[in-house]
Amino acid sequence: MAQQTAVEWLVEQLIPKDQHEGIMDIIEDAKHWEKEQIKDSYEIGWVNGDLKKAPRFGKEYYEQTFNK
């Protein structure tokens, strides 16, 4: 089961689904930015930490964790 990102949770909490249309570009930009931050942070942790048995690249980690 895929995890939910903070941005996805926030959108669900604040904006009724029938009102998403007017701000979808902003929401998609925020989700993309968050995805890049997660991937970059993961790769920094992999290089500096003890994650040698985990996926090497943040993109792999993000896709496995959030299934996007």
Q: Looking at residue 68, what is its pLDDT?
A: 58
Take residue 47 and report the two structure tokens written for it: 């290089």
What is the H or E stretch that residue 52 is in?
none
Residue 3 pLDDT > 80: yes
Mean pLDDT, the chain, as a whole number? 78
Q: Looking at residue 56, what is its pLDDT?
A: 65
Distance CA(62)–CA(68), nearest Å, equals 7
Distance CA(27)–CA(34), nearest Å, equals 11
51 confidence band (pLDDT: 50, 70, 90):
low
